[in-house]
Every structure is written in C-alpha cells, then in structure tokens.
Amino acid sequence: MPTSVRLRRFIVPASVGLILLVAVGWYNFFWLPDTHRYLDDRNFRALKTLSEQIRLGINNFDKMMDNAADSGISNDKLQDYLSHVAPQLEKPDDEETESIIGKGDSSNYGDPPKISVVADEGTHFLYMAFKRTVEAPVRSTRHKQVRYAIRTDLDKLISKVLPPTNRNPFNIVLVARDDGTVIFQKSSPGIEVARIDTFEDESTAEQKKKKPEEAATGKIELEGKKLTQSSRYGEVTLAGARYRLYSQPLQLSFPPIDRARKTAKQEASAAPAENWVFCA
C-alpha cells in the first residue's frame, strides 16, 4: 500500500484529536479562569454591598439614640419611643442590662455607644450602651446626662439584608468577630459553624505535608484578626465538601463593651472599634 494512502487513513483521527486537544486547552487555560475571575469579582461585589448595608444599619441606631436624647426622651419612656420610631430595637430589663453592661454609672456607656453581642437561647442579640450630656433646660445651670441601653435581634437584622435563598449566590453566609467566633450564620445545606478559624484550607495542603505537627491538627492559619484586615479568597473543606470562601472586613464605628469592667471606678482604657468579618 502506498505511503500516501496509509497517511490519509490517519488524517481524520489526527484532526479530530487535535481539535479536541485545542478545545480542552482553551477550556482549561482560557474559559475556566475567565469564568472563575468573573464569579469571584461578582461575589466580592455582593459581599461588599451586603456588609455595607449591615454596617449602615447598625450605625443608624446611634443616630436614633442621639435624636432621643435631643428630644428629651427619658429612660422610662425609651421603650415607647422605640416602639414608634424603631420597632427592631427594644429596651432590655434592668437586671439584664446590669449583667451585661453594668449599673447606671458604668464606664461601658459612651458616645459613640459601646456594643456587645450576647447569645441567648440560640439567638444573638446586639446590645448598645449610649451616654451623652445634653444642654441644660432653660433657667438651669446643670447639664443633663442621659443613658440608654438598647438591644436588637442580630439574626433578624442581618437576615433582612440578605437576598432570598433562590437568589442568594452563596450557600453559606457567616458573620464572625475578629477572634473567629461566629455570631450569625445562614446555611442552605444546613451546615453549622461555630468558629471560622477551624476551616481546613485546601491551598495549604502541601505545606501541611511538609509539617507533620501542623498536619495533625487539620487546620490552617485563618485567624479572624487576619481576615478582618482585607478581602480574602480561599478554598476550604467544610463537612467533607469543598467550598470557595470569600471574606470581607466589616468594621463598625463603635468600641466593644468590656464585660469585665462594670463600674466607672474601674480604670477605663480607650478601646478600638469592633471589627467583624463577613464570610460567604
């Protein structure tokens, strides 16, 4: 059989193989990275928008308490004022306030208010302690100091800004403090997460193999303090499944309540603003 005839028998298979090779290469090296980049950019934009809505929603509570103080609302009438102006806020009982914030002379009150997140029967509540000196009434030389303690259901507050499940681009949404403690979560697969610093990172799997003492823990350096510094992306294993993890800093304007200091007699130090991290 002539050589030209034998070569023609391989032209069609070789052409098909070459086309498939080019298609696979284009898919892996061009289409897939571009798609991932588009999805990553979209998810970071969505995460930034949601975190900004949460931050603004909490900051508005400070303005509401400023307005209450300017309007001369006393602490006894605060609940009636909140019921009409901000139904999502409520005045906790005095006993509950003292156990979390302290008594009336507590240094945990301030302007801007100090905040604390406390879990109660499976629900996270955001407490705010506000104190401000207002102008003295007419014919009086004494300035009046008002103190308000309020709380809101943090789970409801964050859930309201999230899109419906059928339009949510994320399977799991988490909000955590800078120490890694989760204070809000919504999971369509039903996965429960207590801390964000216990995720297993796929990107550091090779490094773990080189360090057997770290590999034994099965965890990575996902400290909350690092996650609150900048937007981050990584691949993690959660409940046996691989997820793409996106994180966005969520810095509030208010310092935290020091629950170990309940009175003004104890030395108070300037505390930095509360930092959270929004993960999805």
For residues 140 and 240, state if they share a domain.
no
For residues 138 and 213, state if they share a domain.
no
For residues 163 and 33, state if they share a domain.
yes
Tell me, what's the pLDDT at 155?
93
Q: Which of 126, 154, 182 is the last residue of a domain?
A: 154
Distance CA 157, CA 171 (A): 19
Tell me, what's the pLDDT at 123?
87
Quote the longest CA-to-CA distance of the chain: 120
Q: Which of 100, 119, 154 is the last residue of a domain?
A: 154
For residues 106 and 139, state if they share a domain.
yes
For residues 76 and 99, state if they share a domain.
yes
Q: Which of 95, 119, 154 is the last residue of a domain?
A: 154
Show Cβ contacts of residue 270 under 8 Å, excluding neighbours closer than 6 positions.
255
What pTM does this model have?
0.78
Q: Is residue 29 predicted with pLDDT exceeding 80? A: no
For residues 184 and 255, state if they share a domain.
yes
For residue range 131-180, what is the model confidence (pLDDT) as tens digits? 887 765 555 556 678 888 899 999 999 999 998 888 888 999 999 988 88
Q: Is residue 97 predicted with pLDDT exceeding 90? A: no
Complete edge-to-edge strand list for the sheet that includes strand 89-90: 89-90, 144-153, 123-134, 114-120
For residues 177 and 200, state if they share a domain.
yes
For residue range 58-71, what is the model confidence (pLDDT) as tens digits? 999 989 888 888 88
Whether residue 228 lies inside any domain: the answer is: yes
CATH assignment of the domain containing 196: 3.30.450
Whether residue 7 lies inside any domain: the answer is: no
For residues 67 and 143, state if they share a domain.
yes
Q: Is residue 113 predicted with pLDDT exceeding 70? A: yes
For residues 43 and 165, state if they share a domain.
yes
Whether residue 13 lies inside any domain: the answer is: no
Tell me, what's the pLDDT at 158?
92
For residues 75 and 188, state if they share a domain.
no
Structural domain tally of the chain? 2
For residue range 222-244, what is the model confidence (pLDDT) as tens digits? 555 565 567 888 888 888 888 88
- 179 or 260: which leads in pLDDT: 179
Q: At what angle do helices 32-70 and 78-85 cross, to 10 degrees?
A: 140
Domain holding 188, by residue range, is 29-56+159-261+269-279
Tell me, what's the pLDDT at 104?
62
Q: Is residue 214 predicted with pLDDT exceeding 60? A: no
Whether residue 220 lies inside any domain: the answer is: yes
- 18 or 87: which leads in pLDDT: 87
